[in-house]
Amino acid sequence: MILGLASVLDPADLTCVVNVGDDEVFHGLNVSPDLDTVMYTLGGSIDTSKGWGLANESYQTLNSLNVLGEETWFNLGDKDLATHLVRTRMLREGHKLTQVTQHLCSRLGVKVRVLPVSDDKVSTILHGPEGVLSMQEYFVKHRCEPDISDVEYVQDNAVITPEVVQSISSADAIIICPSNPVLSIGPMLAIKQMNELLIEHRSKTVVVSPLIGSESVSGPAGYLMNQLGMESNVLGLANFYQGLCTGVVIDESDGMHEVSLVKLGLSVMMLPIMMRTKSDKQFLAQSVLEAIFNE
């Protein structure tokens, strides 16, 4: 969705506010998976077959770490390591994550403004019968297989950055892209200031569903929503975002829920939300923008 928006808008007109709830330290390096995926995607260097990491990557360093007895379940490619080395150095020098991200984007040829939601530490912790897992342990190490009974967002009074406040406050429209509500958007909403800001600007906020029927388009969103006692469909999504938006974009096949969504006070756009090609992404982005600005 972000790639589609970047394709139909002037880069100066688009800002991406990105989750930091699954940031971790691996092998002494600060890794920001969501920020990196957004940067690599917009910079045209992402491994499109995987949806993460850099294209034409090698893993010699990881292989050597394995020989030395280190845990290597989190895939860090040789080229990818350069990003984390620079980020770690700059953070240790006292730069904010926002400043580091701006520098990395400039070097990677990313013209869209990419902002971490906060410069503070935010952690997504998952609880289940097997114990406590970090987001990356759940998602990567255990491939989303453990049963989950609760998700906790540890943010120790984190605040959103002034840049995020300015961007959201001055935006003509806010689009919550089709992301996992629990793992990708929830950590951002756990920051009280972000939650309050979206409530204040809900009249210009639209959510694009990550679900078709009861299944997530990709990832464990639907499965995890079920485990947490939420409806894994667009109604469950609408309840999750209740009070934070006034519009929702759902797949045409979910039209049976339109009346219920309208009763919840939402305007409903029905579009083909499955994005397999670049033209699909552009079409959805353009259609959503036209619907927003023609209302």
Give the tens place of pLDDT for each residue, 52-98: 999 999 999 999 999 999 999 999 999 999 999 999 999 999 999 99
**Chosen CATH of 160-294 out of 3.10.290.10, 3.10.20.30, 3.40.50.10680, 3.40.1190.20:** 3.40.50.10680
In CATH terms, the fold of domain 20-114 is Helicase, Ruva Protein; domain 3 (1.10.8)
Q: Is 257 within 8 Å of 269 (Cβ atoms)?
A: no
| Phi, psi at 2, each rounded to 5° | -65, -40
Question: Do 20-114 and 160-294 share a fold?
Answer: no
* Helix ranges, the chain (H): 2-8, 33-42, 60-67, 78-92, 97-108, 135-136, 162-170, 186-189, 192-200, 221-227, 234-240, 258-263, 278-294
For position 295, what pLDDT does the model report?
60
User: Average pLDDT for residues 212-237, to the nearest whole number?
Assistant: 90
Amino acid, single-letter form, for residue 141: K
Q: What residues does each domain of the chain span?
A: 20-114, 160-294
Mean pLDDT along residues 138-146: 94
Task: For residue 180, name the pLDDT band (cuts at 50, 70, 90).
Answer: very high
What region does 216 belong to: left with phi over 0, alpha with psi -120 to 50, or beta?
beta
Query: 183-199: per-residue pLDDT in tens?
Result: 999 999 999 999 999 99
β 150-154/123-128 pair status? antiparallel
pLDDT grade for 220, boundaries at 50, 70 and 90: confident
Q: Is the pLDDT of residue 264 over 90?
A: yes
**For the chain, what's the residue count?**
295
Please, what is the average pLDDT of the chain? 95
